Amino acid sequence: MLTTLAVIGLAFSLDLLLGEPPTAAHPVAWFGRLVGAVDRQWSADERRQRLVGVAIAAVAPLVPAAVAGGVVLAAAALHPMGGGVAAALVLFLTTSLRSLLELTEDVVAATDGDLDRARERVRGLVGRDTATLSAGELRSAAVESAGENLADGFVATLVPFAVLAPISLPAAAAVAAWIKGVNTLDSMLGYPSKPVGTASAHLDDFVMYLPARLAAASIAVAAADPFALARARRWARAPPSPNSGWPMAALACALTVRLEKAGVYVLNPDAALPSVADGERAVTVVGRAAVVTIVVAIVLAAIVAGSPPLESVGRRIAEVGDGWL
């Protein structure tokens, strides 16, 4: 358990100190190039495109998982502390908090007098056309993304990592990398216009079911408004995604603001679009929600570490790993 705490602590210390690594040096960007290589017309037949997409969804995320797990195993063989440091690096690279909060804050601040900058910066958060968005709509886009990315870029990898880390650090790193791979596949291929990405979109929907709802609950706790989650149920299914609406709707209800993507969805429609102050509070609430998630992850790790059956499973996995090396 102490090792798990140290690994999680090191990972988030790196995030607070460094933020996102440069794109050219980021393993997620490297995986993105692999996804880009398979994002093509494999067949003129849509059904065959979907079948190819099933193979891509099944195989592609295993690549970062195998690399991450292998690196942690190899590092542990080289030095007693090596496995922990390598696992912390994997968690650092598969989560993102500081960069998300800083970019959201930058967009919100820019809407107060520099809409061109706000429109340019918000493209790092959302894929929608920003050319005609008003200041309130730009703030809405930034707040929506902060809520959604709390689930996708933080909760989804941290919690499974924390649960598995007391059992096996290589397995924890592999699962975190696999989930990040699934998220990346969906973000690049999971569009209705791309039959090759249908399986990736469905896989991401399955993987994100619990993280999205945990993120929504964390937002409600962080905002000191536990009933925000209950109110959010009214609009959580408004977005096309079965999951992203949960943290976004929870944030809308906790802040008492309207979040809107024109022509697609409206969350908490009776409220006004976010003001600058609302946007600043959103950054604070999402940051606190991340802390709530870390606490939940540590509690789950402690439960796993204290379970005798799981301890024996962990020892067996460690023995198998030693055998491979």
What predicted TM-score, i.e. pTM, was given to this entire model? Answer: 0.89
Distance CA 218, CA 294 (A): 10
Joined together, the tokens standing for residue 268 give 């908490």
- Given this model, what pLDDT does residue 127 score? 83
CB-based burial label for 41 (10 Å; 0-12, 13-18, 19+) = exposed
Close Cβ partners of 56 (under 8 Å, ≥ 6 residues apart) = 38, 185, 189, 196, 199, 200
Joined together, the tokens standing for residue 127 give 């894929």
| Beta strand residue intervals within 35-193, DSSP E | none
Chain-centre distance of CA 186, in angstroms?
A: 12
Question: What are the structural domain ranges in the chain?
Answer: 2-324
For residue 184, which phi and psi values (nearest 5 degrees)?
Answer: -65, -40
List the chain pLDDT tens, one digit each, 325 residues: 888 999 999 999 999 998 888 888 899 999 999 999 999 989 888 899 999 999 999 999 999 999 999 999 999 999 889 999 999 999 999 999 999 999 999 999 999 989 999 999 999 888 888 888 999 999 999 999 999 999 999 999 999 999 999 999 999 999 999 999 999 999 999 888 899 999 999 999 999 999 999 999 999 999 999 899 999 999 999 999 999 999 999 999 999 999 999 889 999 999 999 999 999 999 999 999 999 999 999 999 999 988 765 555 445 544 544 554 4
